[in-house]
Each structure stands twice: as C-alpha cells, then as structure tokens.
Amino acid sequence: MAEIGTDLLIAAKHLKQGESVGIPTETVYGLAANALDERAVLNIFKVKNRPQFDPLILHAHSLEEVAKYVDHIPDKAGELAKAFWPGPLTILLKKKTIVPDLVTSGLESVAVRVPQHELTLELLKSLSFPLAAPSANPFGYVSPTTAQHVEAQLGNKIPYILDGGSSNIGLESTIVGFDELDQPIIYRLGGKTVEDIEILIGKTKTALNKSSNPVAPGMLKSHYAPGKKVLVGDINSLLKEYKNERVGVISFKEDYSELRPVKQLILSEKGNLDEAAQHIFSALRKMDDPEIDLIVTEKLPDIGLGKAINDRLDRASARY
C-alpha cells in the first residue's frame, strides 16, 4: 500500500531518491519521477507495465522552465503556452540533449506541459528537476482521477500518492505538435477544446491515431479501456438487444432506470459536457464490477469536451 497524503516534503524526498510518486493534476493523476534520471524514468515504465516505445510527458512549473528542455518554440506554440499554461495542453517540441532518450522513446521531440494544480505546481517549484509523468494507471486501462484510483491499481508498487482531490477536468491533456512548416497538428483530443485552440491560433489539422500499430501507442485504437466489454450506441436499443445480460448503463443525461439495468450512472443530469468529462473515467471504473457483464453507453454531442469524451468511448469500446 502507498501512503496517501498532502505532504510535499515526503513526495519530494521520494522523487529525489529516484522513486515514482502519484501526483494530482487537473486532467488526471500522473505517475511522476525525475525526468532527468534514466533510472527513475525506467521505473515508471516498470510500474505501469508500459512498453518503452511509448514516450512520456515532461511536466514543469512554467514556460521559462520548459524552455530549458526544448530547442525551438514555434510562434504558435508560444502563443498556446502563454494563453493556456498552466492548463490541460501538452505541446510537442524539439528536445535538448539534456532530456534522456528514454523519456521521448528516442523521438526528437519531447512532450511538455505545465499542469494546473496548486499542490503539483508547488512540488515542481521545490524540485531542481522536471517530472516525467504518464497517467497513473496500468498500461491500456482507464486513467485515474482520484488518489484512491491510483492506490487501487498501483498502490503496491509506489511509496507515496500526493492527494489533491478529484481531478477538475477528468480527461487527459490535448496534445498539439507542429509540422516542418511550424503548422499545428492535434494528436490527441483532451481537456483543452479544439474550439479554444483554434480561436487563438486559427485552423488546425488533426492526426488522431486510430491504428493498432501507431507511432505513439498512447493513441492506440484500443486504450483507456475498463476490464469489461463496452458498447457505444443507442442505449434503448442496446438494452433491448442485451436484455438477458447484466448490463451497466452510463448515460449522458437521461434516466434509464425504468428499463432496469443492473447499475446506472448519469454523467450530467444537466447535460453539461464539462461535468460529464469530470465523471466519465470514474463511471467506467465503477462499472468494472463483478455484477456486470457489459457496459452500455452513448456518444455525447460532438462539441467542446464532448469530442474528447467520444474519442475515449471509441477507444474503450474498440476491441468489441
């Protein structure tokens, strides 16, 4: 079992020793270690059971700090960073040699982000190194949005989890990179909406990896999946079709209790997409329950955070 607490000194002590620590962010919880220490980074891959060809995000407390680790900041990247950091946006930039190849899986670019969480920002300011941190879940599983989620799956492999409450946004950061002409490409939909990004820097291209053998495996077609079969469609019809199975329903805002699912979770009774994003990962976890054979859910409106939620539902259901 990991110790769960809010003591920055204890978290810093473990990190300085090269250990991995659970940290809160506004998107999801991270599994953090010293990004400049190869052995510490290697331990992250081990704890998560993550293949080493899947690169990590480097977290720092400010744009000035990030600048120590990257070589070229395109104008539009600078604009994004100034407008949205700290916040749920990760930017891919050319790395300096000080960043170990293990962090970037040998790629020339490093993913960087300034997270918006008071405790974690304070922790980062107290350290003399940045933190490499993937989401704190076993590879391929749903990301954690509370310290208890981290404890449930990785607690026996790490010494400490910094408890910063429930993640405010509930979905991983949006990832933006730049092509040879410094034009922006969105690689992962996430907590910062495409609409917000485009208001600032104009039209973007999108390259969401939907294959089963992508360059960046975190964008694997099947990912973010709970241990149950997930079906996405019209909840009414799916409940009829699977009436002989023990079904758990995750709906956007409607109540389906009359159709007697074994369990039902409503993401946002008010139909608010931000609230739905906060709840989606914990809902998928709650349905990972021995009383349920099958999770039935539906697409949300394809705007704002709805786009990123729909992307996660696609991936959670991809193997079925």
Q: What track of x and - describes contact with ligand TXA for positions 172 through 201 (by CB under 6 A)?
A: xx-x--------------------------
Q: What track of x and - describes contact with ligand TXA for positions 205 through 244 (by CB under 6 A)?
A: -----------xxxx-------------------------
CB atoms closer than 10 angstroms to residue 313 = 21
Give the whole-angstrom CA distance, residue 254 versus residue 297: 11
DSSP-assigned letter for residue 48: H
Of 117, 118, 97, residue with least CA distance to 106? 97
Question: Which CB, 252 or 281, lies closer to Mg ion?
Answer: 281
Question: Which CB, 88 or 261, lies closer to ligand TXA?
Answer: 88
Question: Which CB, 113 or 285, lies closer to ligand TXA?
Answer: 113
CA distances from 46 to 98, 180, 260 (A): 22, 34, 42
Residue 133 is a binding residue for ligand TXA (CB under 6 A) = yes
184 DSSP β-pair partners: 178
Residue 57 is a binding residue for ligand TXA (CB under 6 A) = yes
Amino acid identity, position 304: G
Give residue number: closest CB to ligand TXA: 218
CB 289, min distance to ligand TXA, A:
24
Residue 27 is a binding residue for Mg ion (CB under 5 A) = no
Only segment of 13-21, 103-111, 281-289, 291-299 that touches ligand TXA (CB under 6 A): 103-111
CB 173, min distance to ligand TXA, A:
4
DSSP-assigned letter for residue 32: E
Q: What track of x and - describes contact with ligand TXA for positions 288 through 317 (by CB under 6 A)?
A: ------------------------------
Question: Which CB, 21 or 110, lies closer to ligand TXA?
Answer: 110
Residue 261 is a binding residue for ligand TXA (CB under 6 A) = no
Residue 111 is a binding residue for ligand TXA (CB under 6 A) = yes
Residue 135 is a binding residue for Mg ion (CB under 5 A) = yes
* Binder of ligand TXA out of 47, 110, 247, 267 (CB under 6 A): 110
Cα atoms in the 13 Å half-sphere on the side-chain side of 158: 35
Question: 216 with 209: CB under 8 angstroms?
Answer: yes
Give the whole-angstrom CA distance, residue 185 versus residue 98: 25
Question: 61 with 52: CB under 8 angstroms?
Answer: no
CA distances from 129 to 124, 196, 315 (A): 8, 31, 34
DSSP-assigned letter for residue 186: E
Alpha-carbon torsion 58, 63, 65, 68, what sign? Answer: positive
Residues that bind Mg ion (CB under 5 A): 135
Interaction site with ligand TXA (CB under 6 A): 25, 27-28, 30, 54-57, 90, 92, 104, 107, 109-111, 113, 115, 133-135, 172-173, 175, 216-219
